[in-house]
């Protein structure tokens, strides 16, 4: 986890106009923010745009970050999440609710389900297979409602604790836990349905 | 979810404890009651199984690599300074010895933030549109880039040029309606480019020059619309009044 004092120092240097300190912040957190955006928005292009927007927002509001109120990572996650909510409202999830088959991705090559059936008979190459599984799970994740999706992403992909998730999502911890449970369960049902169709 | 107490536990309580159960922090009687409820409750039992399966599925999602250039793009859109330039600024780098290096660095310092902004797709589009509008206005006003060199900055000459341009613009707008304006611009463009065609031996050189190709294509499109010209209502301006420099040529000029 982050060293509170190191981060506080970085933020202070940044506010004072130290461009190298800002670059360090970007270097340290771009991966995390990009991954949250990618898993939430579904597409690599959107994730790239959103990550850039998140950093523009962070850059503009950096002086409002209070080190005593919580971890920097939680603060930037909150900003990321708020921007994702805005993005979701704008796009109305029309691109995300496409079928599991039509989920092109820059990171996991999209194969139609028919290809995956053929793969079952072929000798499984574990790396290809795990990539295909990842691709299917990624597509299923995009079908979850945004409330469940964000909770599951922050817990299971970002390893955040419930309290920090509750802070970022501005809901009680009990609600966070409930959403995580329902998100996981809903995802499993979606995937069970997908794989049942294949077999 | 039905709120039926099963083995002394409400479904709501089970839901809260479910996440903790996966984290392995339930123990003792709490764990016993939790497990008993999972076995007995028709709603919570499947929820437990599905949530566990979903949690396992999610483990297959590994961290993805951000695209190359993401950091540079972020820096360009925030500070306007590219990473490479920041490294220049870092105190650990060797001092810039030669005057040429210092000059290059200072030019880069001036140009990079602007160029960084211009390179952003949303800004690039705006700059493109602004430039197009400017060149179109200049072209309609009869401004020729070749003339810029010979422009006289004496007050009388400026006044003369101003009234000349104004008269030309007013004449232009008074005589034609919008549709004819567009069509005659096409015609003017054709006329303007035809005499400016390079000599045959220069044309050969142009074939290798790919930058010339879009212009040729554009001209082909323009000539298509030329076939549909209705000339009756469009006033024919004297040919020496036609703006010689077309929009595309002007763009190339700059
Ligand atoms: Zn129950």
A19–B contact, CB cutoff 8 A: yes
- Please state the rounded mean pLDDT for residues B73-102: 60
Residue B117 structural domain: 106-140
pLDDT at A67: 86
Predicted confidence at residue A63, as pLDDT, reads 93
Which of the pair, B67 or B253, is modelled with greater confidence?
B67
Residue B20 has pLDDT above 60, yes or no: yes
Model pLDDT for residues B64-76, shown as the tens digit of each residue: 999 999 999 999 9
Q: What is the pTM of this model?
A: 0.58
Residues from chain B that touch A48, judged by Cβ atoms under 8 A, are: 66-67, 70, 73
CATH of domain A111-199: 1.10.10.10
Residue of A nearest to B73 (CA): A52
CB of B81 less than 8 A from some CB of A: yes
From ligand 1's centre to the CA of B21, what distance in Å? 15
Mean pLDDT of B205-229: 36
Class of A1-102 in CATH: mainly alpha
Q: Does position A116 have pLDDT exceeding 80, yes or no?
A: no
End-to-end CA distance of chain A: 43
Per-residue confidence band for A129, with pLDDT thresholds at 50, 70 and 90: confident
The residues that bridge with B9 in the sheet, in sequence order, are: B6
Interchain proximity B70–A186, CB inside 8 Å: no
Domain boundary among B193, B210, B228: B193
Do B153 and B112 have their domain in common? no
Q: Name the residue among A180, A158, A136 with its Cα closest to residue B57.
A: A136
The Cα–Cα gap between B169 and A33 comes to 54
Taking CA atoms, B240 is separated from A46, B29, B185, B237, B243, in Å, by 52, 99, 14, 8, 8
Confirm whether B70 is domain-assigned: no
Average pLDDT, chain B: 62
pLDDT tier at B222 (50, 70, 90 boundaries)? very low
Would you say residue B153 lies in a domain? Answer: yes
Look over chain A and give the mean of its residue pLDDT values, rounded to a whole number. Answer: 86
Give the ipTM of the model, two decimals please: 0.82
Q: Give the pLDDT band (50/70/90) at residue A132.
A: confident
Task: Name the residue ranges covered by the structural domains of chain A.
Answer: 1-102, 111-199
Distance (Å) from CA B24 to ligand 1 centroid: 20
Q: For residue B60, what is the enclosing H or E element? A: none
Distance CA B64, CA B141 (A): 54
Residue B81 lies in a domain: no
Q: Is A191 on the interface with B (CB under 8 A)?
A: yes
**B54 plus B16 within the same structural domain:** yes
Give me the pLDDT at residue A125, please. Answer: 75
Number of H helices, E strands in chain B: 13, 0
User: Which range among A106-120, B115-129, B162-176 shows the weakest confidence by mean pLDDT?
Assistant: A106-120
Match 């506080």 to its residue by tokens: A8
> Cα(B64)–Cα(A32) distance, rounded to whole angstroms?
10
Please give the average per-residue pLDDT across B173-190, as a whole number: 60
- Is pLDDT above 60 for A190? yes
How many CB atoms are located within 10 Å of the residue A150 CB?
Answer: 26
How many folded domains does chain B comprise? 3
B158 occurs within a structural domain: yes
φ, ψ of residue B231 in degrees (nearest 5)? -85, -15
Tens digits of residue pLDDT in A155-187: 999 999 999 999 999 999 999 999 999 999 999
Q: How far apart are CA B142 and CA B133, in angstroms?
A: 14
- Rounded to a whole number of angstroms, the CA Rg of chain B reads 35
Question: Is B2 part of any domain?
Answer: no
Angle at A140 between CA A135 and CA A144, to 5 degrees: 145
Is A48 an 8 Å CB contact of chain B? Answer: yes
Q: Where a domain ends, among B59, B82, B98?
A: B59
Q: Is residue B244 part of a domain?
A: no
8 A C-beta contact, residue A177 and residue A55: no
Least confident stretch, A21-35, B1-15, B90-104, B178-192 = B90-104
- What tens digit of pLDDT does each residue of A55-83 get? 999 999 999 999 888 899 999 999 999 99
């Amino acid at each position: 986890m982050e060293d509170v004092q190191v981060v506080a120092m970085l933020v202070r240097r940044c506010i004072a106009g130290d461009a190298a300190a800002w670059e360090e912040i970007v270097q340290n957190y771009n991966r995390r923010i990009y991954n949250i955006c990618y898993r939430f928005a579904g597409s690599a292009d959107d994730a790239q745009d959103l990550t850039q927007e998140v950093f523009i927002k962070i850059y503009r509001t950096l002086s409002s970050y209070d080190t005593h109120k919580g971890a920097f990572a939680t603060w930037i996650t909150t900003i990321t999440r708020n921007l994702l909510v805005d993005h979701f409202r704008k796009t109305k999830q029309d691109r995300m609710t496409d079928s599991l088959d039509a989920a092109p991705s820059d990171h996991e090559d999209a194969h139609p389900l028919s290809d995956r059936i053929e793969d079952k008979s072929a000798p499984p190459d574990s790396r290809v297979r795990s990539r295909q599984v990842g691709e299917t799970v990624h597509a299923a994740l995009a079908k979850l409602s945004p409330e469940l999706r964000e909770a599951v992403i922050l817990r299971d992909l970002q390893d955040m604790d419930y309290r920090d998730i509750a802070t970022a999502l501005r809901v009680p911890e009990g609600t966070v836990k409930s959403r995580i449970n329902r998100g996981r369960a809903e995802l499993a049902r979606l995937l069970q349905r997908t794989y049942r169709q294949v077999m | 979810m039905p709120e039926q107490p099963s083995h002394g536990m409400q479904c709501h309580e089970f839901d809260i404890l479910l996440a903790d159960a996966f984290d392995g922090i339930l123990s003792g009687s709490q764990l016993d009651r939790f497990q008993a409820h999972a076995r007995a409750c028709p709603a919570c039992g499947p929820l437990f199984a599905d949530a566990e399966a979903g949690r396992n599925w999610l483990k297959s999602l590994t961290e993805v690599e951000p695209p190359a250039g993401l950091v540079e793009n972020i820096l360009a859109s925030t500070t306007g300074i590219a990473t490479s330039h920041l490294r220049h600024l870092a105190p650990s780098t060797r001092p810039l010895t030669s005057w040429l290096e210092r000059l290059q660095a200072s030019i880069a310092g001036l140009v990079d933030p602007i160029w960084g902004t211009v390179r952003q797709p949303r800004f690039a589009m705006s700059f493109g549109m602004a430039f197009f509008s400017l060149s179109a206005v200049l072209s309609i006003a009869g401004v020729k880039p070749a003339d810029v060199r010979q422009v006289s900055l004496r007050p009388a000459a400026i006044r003369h040029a101003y009234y000349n341009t104004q008269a030309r613009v007013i004449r232009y707008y008074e005589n034609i309606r919008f549709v004819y304006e567009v069509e005659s611009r096409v015609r003017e463009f054709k006329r303007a480019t035809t005499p400016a065609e390079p000599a045959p031996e220069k044309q050969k050189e142009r074939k290798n020059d790919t930058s010339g190709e879009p212009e040729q294509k554009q001209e082909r499109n323009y000539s298509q619309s030329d076939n549909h010209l209705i000339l009756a209502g469009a006033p024919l301006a004297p040919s020496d009044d036609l703006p010689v420099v077309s929009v595309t040529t002007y763009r190339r000029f700059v």
